[in-house]
Amino acid sequence: MVASTTELVTRSPEETEAVGERLGRALGPGDVVALTGDLGAGKTCFIRGLARGLDVRQPVSSPTFVLVNQYAGRLPVYHLDAYRTGSLTEVLDLGFDEYVSGDGVTMIEWADTLRPLIPADAVWVHIAGLGDEPRTISIARPDAPYLTGDVDSPRERG
């Protein structure tokens, strides 16, 4: 599958959220966003933006104890965090296949630990940088009509 990668730099949590929001607006039923990046890189921050772009009004935080949070936006939104996941079986038992094959949008923190389960057409988002450093956000997507270019320049509109 042809994939294209967009890379951009953000200098605040607000900017990271804004990039997420833009991607969120472009998402549709069945889409999966797989996030990677170290502890504190900004995965949850990005997902707050994704949720906003999907018109979610509930507060978004990592589903630390429940493994999956569900929000209601213009589509159902599933927010998974695989950080403490013991095994792929545990995630499958959670109903993973139903999430990713349904009409909602699934967003997964620490998706690299679930790589064998992630659909081939998922959008992969990697965030590099920690603490007060700028973040480099790489968005790799299959050749699909996402984000027709304008996500490349998030600060032009600020």
Size of the site for ligand ATP (CB under 6 A): 18
- 3-state secondary structure at position 88: helix
- CB of 4 or CB of 155, closer to ligand ATP: 155
Q: Which of Mg ion, ligand ATP, none lies near 40, with the C-beta cut-off 5 to 8 A by kind?
A: ligand ATP
Closest CA to 61 of 49, 52, 69, 73: 69
Per CB under 6 A, 11 contacts ligand ATP: yes
Per CB under 5 A, 44 contacts Mg ion: yes
Inter-residue contact 80 to 54 (CB < 8 Å): no
* Nearest-CB residue for ligand ATP: 42
Least distance in angstroms from the C-beta of 2 to ligand ATP: 28
- Please, which residues have CB within 8 angstroms of residue 1's CB and are 6 or more apart in sequence? 120, 121, 142, 143
Which listed range, 41-49, 85-93, 96-104, 136-144, lies at the site for Mg ion (CB under 5 A)? Answer: 41-49
Q: Tell which phi-psi region holds residue 55, choosing left (phi > 0), alpha (psi between -120 and 50) or beta.
A: left
Q: Which residues of 87-101 are buried (b: 16+ CB within 10 A; e: fewer)?
A: eeeebeebebeebbe
Q: End-to-end distance of the chain based on CA atoms, in angstroms?
A: 34
Per CB under 6 A, 2 contacts ligand ATP: no
Per CB under 5 A, 43 contacts Mg ion: yes
Task: Identify the H or E element spanning 106.
Answer: strand 105-109
Among residues 36, 44, 69, 106, which is the contact residue for ligand ATP, using CB under 6 A? 44
Q: Give the residues lining the site for ligand ATP (CB under 6 A).
A: 10-13, 15-16, 37, 39-45, 62, 109, 134-135
Q: Give the residues lining the site for Mg ion (CB under 5 A).
A: 43-44, 62, 109
